[in-house]
Structure 1
Amino acid sequence: MTDQTEAIRQGMLLANPQLSRFDPMRRIICHDDFSRGHCGWSQLVGNYEGSLDTMLPGYAQHTSAMLSTLAHWDAGSHGGYDSSYALKIATRPRPGAQNVAIKRLTMRHRGPIRFEAYVTCKPEATELRLGDNDVRSWGFLFDLQAGDKVAERRVMPHLRFLNADQGETLRKWQYKPGQTRFTDIGSEKKTASHYHLSPDGWVDLPGGDQLMCYNEIATKVNWHYMCFDFDLETMRPLAFRVNDREFDVTGFESIEIPAMPNLWNMLNFAFFVETDAAKRAFLYIDSVCISGDF
């Protein structure tokens, strides 16, 4: 790319209010503004065979993400970053309950990608109290597998902000390395499943303690910027930033399992949220920009 071409590209980005809040790589893969709808984000449904009752309990608790105006009881609707709507992921009102929204793509090039988003997280405002420890965690993950000629493994980088656990204040970032246990689904031995968001196996990200804006009452929200760079060639992270903080990912490890049939060139992205109280936890995503250096 010539200097003049890059200058034109940068000028076009800066002139677009929806894109200029992001810092995308050269090619934008998708820009999801949830004022336009769900933009391909859907419920993470677990594998099943013959009956929905064969689904693992972790997946059976999931429900569909919805478009939301961030309604609340004391002032009506908060709205999104700069529109009326955001994508809302809501747990069930049970301590430890989780929910996930996923976007399923395939990769056309194995190189660096950038995952950017504006998000905010709150418990359901069912009490006249702050509830700053009522959300246990929120985060995101990728689910990746290269093409059929090269893939030897399925790679699943996970990052979560562990806000609290059993009411204890924690406020730190964690990642999940290693492998997860697979369970056969049904009786034909053709389907297996694993719940990779189980509470075990999380590791603290070095220097990952972070205090983030959590406004003074349970109905107020502030939007947070996050950015994760990952190389699809080496299957290694490149950088991780949240608001004004950049974290060291040199020791970061992903969940890795052998490559699986039918998942060639898989490029999946997901957000998740978990509650620490007997009330729903909400993760709101205003917009997402996924880009690549190709």
Structure 2
Amino acid sequence: MRIALLRVDPALSRFDPLPRIISLDDFSRGHCGWSQLVGNYEDHLDTMLPGYAQHSSAMLSTLGHWEAGSHGGMDSSYALKIATRPKPGAQNVAIKRHTFRKRGPIRFEAYFTFKPEANELKLSETDVRSVGFLFDLQGGDQDADAQRVMPHLRFLNASDGKHWQKWQYKRETTTFKAVGPEDKTLSHYHLSPDGWLDLPNGEQRLCYNEIPTKVNWSYLRFDFDLETMKATGFQCNDRNFDLSGFDSIRIPAMKNLWCMLNFCLFAETDVAKRAFLYVDSICISGDF
């Protein structure tokens, strides 16, 4: 009965959710809680780390282009758009903030596409450096061994003009730095370009159409267990990837972040041209 109910609802039937749906984000309804990742600061904004200072707000987009007006989303007029600045290596990040009420399996599913700004009459298939996602998690305030755990995955599309097309993950972040003169706030830029590792057999050629304005939507699913704080599955389109060697960034728990359940999406450009990550819809579900 549950499967039948899911399949008759077009918004849900494209996903394979776990029993409890935590959020279903259809960006024809608005931002659905996705906002700019603002870095920590104290007293004034200049104390923010440079990586965070470059971020801007996520936008709602009709995927406009100069040939036919707009693509629209996968089945509506709008998608979420994460756009970088037009500077090589520039990044942008959108975040959705939750907390969890029970430790158990969670599943993140999305339909996404990416492209550079189409300001040249050529394919530009190596202009986007990477797109990806991460979770930002922390145990409860009564956990004796609570950690902050941050699984990261990115699709490295290209670097310095070379087409890589492979999935990567991270185990380490940057050094924590005090923000402001009172040492009350710390910050670290975990999306720095250093420390990315290749996912075993993680090469994948995603659909990238023949001219710079065309897009095709891809499916993504990532499974994680909040009880063990370990990843349990990763799929993109028709490929399921081996996560036996995968691990997350793990750092000591922080004093204000108990039961944190945050999700981030990010894009990075390889050239002096904006990179766009578009997300049509997202389903976050759990078995708790």
Q: TM-score, normalised by structure 2?
A: 0.99
CA deviations on 1:217-243 (whole Å, 9 max, x unpaired) are 000000000000000010100000000
8 Å contact kept, 2:173–2:189: no
| Residue of structure 2 aligned with 1:269, choices 239, 263, 266 | 263
* Equivalent residue letter for 2:258: W
Residue 184 (structure 1) aligns with = 178
Mean CA deviation greater in 146-155 or 110-119: 146-155
Residue 104 (structure 2) aligns with = 111
Residue 194 (structure 1) aligns with = 188
Which 5+ residue runs of structure 2 have no aligned equivalent?
none
* Equivalent residue letter for 2:140: G
| Residue of structure 1 aligned with 2:81, choices 84, 88, 96 | 88
RMSD over aligned Cα atoms: 0.6
Residue 52 (structure 1) aligns with = 45
Matches of 2:206 and 2:173, distance apart in 1: 30
Deviation at 1:180, TM superposition (A): 2.8
User: What pairs with 1:1-294 in structure 2 (closer than 5 Å)?
Assistant: 8-150=1-143, 151-294=145-288
8 Å contact kept, 2:173–2:188: no
Matches of 2:126 and 2:68, distance apart in 1: 23
Deviation at 1:152, TM superposition (A): 2.1
CA deviations on 1:130-185 (whole Å, 9 max, x unpaired) are 00000000000000001101152100000000000010110000000134310110
Q: TM-score, normalised by structure 1?
A: 0.97
* Partner SS state of residue 167, structure 2: strand
8 Å contact kept, 1:180–1:255: no
Matches of 2:20 and 2:239, distance apart in 1: 25
Deviation at 1:293, TM superposition (A): 1.0
* Partner SS state of residue 181, structure 1: coil
Residue 3 (structure 1) aligns with = none
